[in-house]
Structure 1
Amino acid sequence: MIGLLFVGALATLLYFVWDPSRQDEAQARQLRENVDFGGALFALNCSSCHGLTGKGLTERGGLPGAILNDESRRSTALGEVSSNVSRFRDTIHCGRVGTLMPAWSQSQGGSLNDYQIEQLVALITGVMPPQGGSVSQGDIPSDPNVVSESGWEYSLEQANHRAEFQPPKHLQQAVTASDARLVLDDATDLKAEPRASASERPLARIDDNPNDSVYELVRLIDAPAGSILKSEAGASDIELTLEQPSVFQAGDLITVDSEVMEVVSAPWVTTLATDVTADATTITVVDAGSLVAGATIKIGSEKLKINSVNGDSLSVERGVEDTTAVDHSKDSTVTEQGDTIQVKRAQQGTAAGKHNVKAEVVEQGNEATVERGAEGTKAAEHSAGTELFQGPILPPTGPLTGEVGTPPCGQKSAQPAATPGPPAPITGTVAISLNDNFFDLNGQQDPTMAAKVGDPITIQLTNKGSQPHNMRFAGADTQLDSGDDVVSSPDLIPGGATGTLSFTVAQPGTYPYRCDFHPDQMKGEITVTQ
């Protein structure tokens, strides 16, 4: 009996010794799982604005979202953690009026529930707060950086998995930074259409190391096209019915099963040469090509019937086939409707045969023509074997949160831009602060400044915001991005840091300036006179 009591007492003692350790392990495991869920949510919902790695503008230019993957967001000090958790929770929940950051909470019309918002906060801070509650010291892990960085790695894995081509595509040959043609092990299914609007051409990501934040985006101009048969093709048929016939054009060599064919004709693709209003009945395209009277074309979601063709001018009936006539901008893609292509059979010594429904129709070739260094990335050398991913979804351009309707969570409506004051004269050394997201000169935001020819100007820049900023000033040609710009030193000024920009203008004129990281918001002009 005494022995049993002793064993029971020992077991109870061991339980109390081991239980806190088991509890700590369970809490750490649950934190890691929640951070990973936050990473998956980020990859799906947030990466288009904040970047694949959450590093915003330090990942690539043009991203409007704040830098979230940063040690400054993670702390072990209770006061700082509480402040960070509250700020990120409220921002995700309610959005930020006057910016592209929407309200994500379901209670504000968003798609995330409260627990998912807490998981995103955990990803950013490395701390999983009690749902809707305050953080205690016991909620803070010993190293939030390790926890958060693990979640960011998982988020990038998820983003890469979704962006991977099937089958995967790799560079078959190394490329220099100036090469405009990529040789791939599989160049099909890139959906590039050289005749379509440049703005509608898809992006691809060339990524030497998919586990870091360095990559190059390219815009696909031309690549071997592909589609599938919608109906069976007999051995003597010279017309193929396809899912996407307009991706091909006359002269393309295509392969169906083992048979090679030459495309004789296919639905025409071009772009608008001018803007088109909803009531216009004559439109001008860049190249009317094979378009004829009676054909139906599609611009956006609207279908139009061609009544007559005069050069590149088309007389049309608007909004046919239950579509609505709307305005269309210059360079919009115009696609002839139809599901067939005409072909010459049995080319290059192959035999004509029967081809079943769903058979792949693939243009021959393994090269893609691209525009290098797109969307704020830089063209670089890439070695053979580097993987090509589908390009990221680009951030929205509007509307701004609170711009339409009632701002979420009772926030005040965004204030209209202030009326510019008179040009502010500058000479010698001038102090300008960089804020999120505007230049400030003695209380004037994004001011128009006035300088004199030959007067040396030095602008002392202080970043008083949390986002990276810089200042770029046009050179002698008065145009930005033309090779003679003057850029601040350093060219990336983080929050709290300083920089300088020095220049002397030799000719009168109006010279624009901007922040490269927020070019649509932080911009202005310097008027130079004798």
Structure 2
Amino acid sequence: MSRTGTQIQIMVGLIFVSIVVMFGYSIWDTSRAETAADEQLHKAGERGAHLFVQNCRTCHGLQGEGLVENAQAFPGVPLNIDSARPESTTELEAIQRRFSATIECGRVGTLMPAWSIDEGGSLTPEQIRQLIVLITENPDNVWEEVVEYGREVDRVGAGVFLAEDFPADATSFPELDASEDDIATIAVGVRYRIEDEFILVTTQEMLDQQAAEEEAAAEEEAAAEEEEGDEEGGDAEEEATPASTPQAPTEGEDVPSAAGDTGEPGPQPTIDDFVIVRGYQGTTAADHAAGTEILNTPPEAPDPTDESSILGATGIPPCGQNPVQPGADDGDDGAAAEVGEDGTVTVAGGDSFFEQTTITGVAPDQELSVTFDNQGALSHNIAFYPSAEAGAEALAATELAIGPIEQSLEFTAPSEPGDYLYNCQAHPADMMGTLVVE
């Protein structure tokens, strides 16, 4: 072979090797970039988890499931749900825009405040982005960090543990394994949690005082109704909270003492004086084994019936949103939807309303197929009940999901003619209707 031919072969070989090296480098570089992007996404989600613990658990729950987790304690819509994490890039971008607007500006007519620092809140645009990564992408299941970090934040001092078993029917603390200083921080009127159970620390004096106040309020109400000539005044139901589920004192409220009416502070109750309300706020009283930790809980959520807690009920709402219009829906019963011959019916809804608030043409024991057309930006569902009230377990319900989405539900209508409730379990006071069986 000539020298020229050899040189050509060497050049071809070098070119081939260069191509292979460049191709391999491009693959490696792409993989490295993807790894770096994944790491950045995880860090953003992790920071979002910490922000959630610090700012959002009061309404949206210890695990981000809000009212699904515990409707009495956490009135916020669930965020840790599959429908908040769509696989489609287009849907993901759309839902991220909606969450961004909601976190920045709040939602008029709800407990959701504006969190953007530009609207008087405490979160920067980057922190809002980190929360959105947690909610909509959940990289490496970082929602678990919410639970773990939450336990750290909720620790009582250096840790307070049960030194003995704590039966479900016990109403006083057993021996505790903790320093005296940490035990001394356990306070009357404060909500704590042991595993999944909430407890309220109170005293017998506080329970007796609350019972007396409820009795006096009931007597005043009955007297007022009797004075107005109301025939049912004497049978008026008490609207106060039952003594079995007392309310924690609000911040700054004095704890009853043994001082009576002298105005002098009495001795502060100690752990031996405490009465423990078990299964507080809809949780279940349970047996807890020695070694289980007693934890704080997030601050209690605002009262949704308190107008001052509702965004837009007073003052000027952020981001140019329209204020709440009191009585705007009075007299508007919504439209009626009639069930077809094949048992199908569609109910549409948006944020805090159903377009159809009555479903007619339903026969007893009829097989129904309901389509819920959810056009809202918040989590909604539709649930049907075996009575006119939501006290019983739902007959059937769709999953809570963020719209726009259509969901189908099949169930058998009640066997007795009558009016039956349906509602959105996330917004039961605003989104409700009547299924008429006839």
1:41 and 1:120 in contact (8 A); partners too: yes
Q: What amino acid does structure 2 have at the position aligned with 1:35?
A: G
1:98 and 1:400 in contact (8 A); partners too: yes
Cα gap change, 1:461 to 1:49, in 2 (>3 Å): farther
Deviation at 1:363, TM superposition (A): 4.5
| Stretches of structure 2 lacking an aligned partner (at least 5 in a row) | 1-17, 178-182, 221-248, 255-259, 402-406
Cα gap change, 1:99 to 1:162, in 2 (>3 Å): same
Q: What amino acid does structure 2 have at the position aligned with 1:206?
A: I
Cα gap change, 1:71 to 1:301, in 2 (>3 Å): closer
Give the structure with the larger helix fraction.
2
Question: How far apart in 2 are the matches of 1:408 and 1:431?
Answer: 38
1:90-489 matched pairs, under 5 angstroms: 90-126=101-137, 145-147=138-140, 149-150=141-142, 152-171=143-162, 172-173=164-165, 175-176=167-168, 183=174, 185=176, 189-192=185-188, 201-207=189-195, 215-222=196-203, 271=213, 273-274=216-217, 337-341=263-267, 362-364=270-272, 368-372=275-279, 374-396=280-302, 397=304, 398=307, 399-414=309-324, 416-421=328-333, 431=345, 433=347, 435=349, 440=354, 443-445=355-357, 447=358, 460-465=369-374, 466-474=379-387, 481=391, 485=392, 487-489=394-396
Question: How far apart in 1 are the matches of 2:94 and 2:114?
Answer: 19
Question: How far apart in 2 are the matches of 1:431 and 1:461?
Answer: 5
CA distances 1:23-46 after superposition (whole Å, capped 9, x unpaired): 555444333322222111111111
1:268 and 1:336 in contact (8 A); partners too: no
2:45 and 2:130 in contact (8 A); partners too: yes
Question: How far apart in 2 are the matches of 1:381 and 1:21?
Answer: 51
1:269 and 1:335 in contact (8 A); partners too: no
Question: How far apart in 2 are the matches of 1:38 and 1:76?
Answer: 20
Question: How far apart in 1 are the matches of 2:70 and 2:31?
Answer: 43
CA distances 1:391-411 after superposition (whole Å, capped 9, x unpaired): 332322253222223332223
Aligned residues: CA RMSD: 4.8
2:59 and 2:301 in contact (8 A); partners too: yes
Number of residues of Structure 1 aligned to a counterpart in Structure 2:
358
Cα gap change, 1:190 to 1:418, in 2 (>3 Å): same
Question: How far apart in 1 are the matches of 2:344 and 2:192?
Answer: 43
Question: How far apart in 1 are the matches of 2:86 and 2:333?
Answer: 43
Q: What amino acid does structure 1 have at the position aligned with 2:294?
A: L
Cα gap change, 1:341 to 1:412, in 2 (>3 Å): closer
CA distances 1:30-64 after superposition (whole Å, capped 9, x unpaired): 33322222111111111112111112233222433
CA distances 1:78-120 after superposition (whole Å, capped 9, x unpaired): 3233223222212211222222222111111211111111111
What does residue 356 of structure 1 align with?
none
1:35 and 2:45 aligned: yes
Question: How far apart in 2 are the matches of 1:336 and 1:31?
Answer: 61
Question: How far apart in 2 are the matches of 1:159 and 1:302?
Answer: 27
1:67 and 1:467 in contact (8 A); partners too: no
Cα gap change, 1:335 to 1:31, in 2 (>3 Å): farther
Q: What amino acid does structure 2 have at the position aligned with 1:419?
A: G
What does residue 236 of structure 2 align with?
none
Give the structure with the larger strand fraction.
1
1:43 and 1:155 in contact (8 A); partners too: yes
**Secondary structure at the counterpart of residue 53 of structure 1:** coil
**Secondary structure at the counterpart of residue 487 of structure 1:** coil
Deviation at 1:369, TM superposition (A): 2.8
Q: What amino acid does structure 2 have at the position aligned with 1:487?
A: A
Give 2:60's match in structure 1, choosing from 47, 50, 55. 50
Cα gap change, 1:464 to 1:20, in 2 (>3 Å): closer
Cα gap change, 1:216 to 1:439, in 2 (>3 Å): farther
**Secondary structure at the counterpart of residue 194 of structure 2:** strand
Q: What TM-score does the superposition give when structure 1 sets the normalisation length?
A: 0.54
1:203 and 1:217 in contact (8 A); partners too: yes
Q: 181-190 vs 425-434, which deviates more?
A: 425-434
Cα gap change, 1:270 to 1:486, in 2 (>3 Å): closer
1:434 and 1:461 in contact (8 A); partners too: no
Question: How far apart in 1 are the matches of 2:107 and 2:394?
Answer: 30
| Stretches of structure 1 lacking an aligned partner (at least 5 in a row) | 1-8, 127-144, 193-200, 208-214, 224-245, 250-266, 277-297, 304-333, 343-360
Cα gap change, 1:155 to 1:103, in 2 (>3 Å): same
Question: How far apart in 1 are the matches of 2:420 and 2:29?
Answer: 69
